[in-house]
Structure 1
Amino acid sequence: MSNYSEAAKQHHEISLQYEHKYILFFVALIFSILGLAIETSTPSKNYFQIIFELSGWLFLLLSGILGLVILQESAAYYRFQSENSSLWNELNSLLSQKEMGKENIPWLDSSRADEVRHIMRPIDDVIRDKENSLKQIVSERDTVQKDVVLKINIQGITFTIGIIGLIISRGWDHIAYIIINS
């Protein structure tokens, strides 16, 4: 079972690395497209073409900024995930000690700012505290995860709208030519 959990942990780490790289490369792609679109734009007297071009730039900029926010919040999610794993390990260790008959465990009491004392604390109290901390961490992690998923969806929509705006703007003359000559 230990080999399975180590393999699962390793696969999870690899998937997180790929996800992080994907987000990073996608943000780089968005800003590259935006930079090229701005660099290669040509002046136009057609207001619709100008509106589509500028809206394409705006939506690509929003998509890139959302990507940067997603990268930042992903780091917070991974931090919460790490704290979650650490608390689970501590909780499992405490439960094992309780099964072996331990009723009290050594504890550092830092309730007073001027001193830290070594005390014996009931294991049930420590388990309860760890479970409460775990619930709080899971709640915070899930909130961050929902925010990241929402922002990823919004980023995809803004990227798509930006690309469509640029395609319409850049293809406006060709579309008009086809319509007029049909």
Structure 2
Amino acid sequence: MLVQWQAVFLDRDGTIGGTGHYIHPRDFVLYQGAQESIRRLKEAGLKVFAFTNQHRISRGEATEEEFELQFHTYGFDDSFICPHGSSEGCHCRKPSPGMLFTAAEKYGLDLSRCVVVGDVGDTDMLAAHAAGAKKVLVRTGWGEDSLNEYRDQWKEVEPDYIASDINEAVKWILED
């Protein structure tokens, strides 16, 4: 049976660009081909959403608006940003699936027909798993460490696909 994807959720740091560590939106650089991959998803009729933990917002090092503008510039349909620190007890910070549930409610999505692409197993993949979405782990950013050194932190969950980078992940999504 052919699954018709509705939306793709893309993590930011280490997935579409950067190093996996925080980089202010004004200094952030997309990986080669990432902008084209975002465009290809949209041309295929998919919604494309940013899905990112950015606790530096709560520390005053950036604003949510700066991130929203960045994602809008890249062509995202919307952005779901957790600005909270890990000790704040929110429901949106990955690995909680709160941002995915908020997007599903806002856009009428069936999360089983959505794909999450990220580089961190114990946040991105666990959130996708909890929401029932497809899970694509990229080897960029923290991806290699997630698959090796930190695999024990999410050992009960298997990615549906492991991609070398965002471009291979998008190719898999569009061909699956």
The TM-score bracket by the shorter chain reads under 0.3
More strand by share: 2
More helix by share: 1
Q: Higher relative contact order at CA 8 Å, sep ≥6: structure 1 or structure 2?
A: 1
Q: TM-score, normalised by structure 1?
A: 0.23
- Which of 1 and 2 has greater Rg? 1
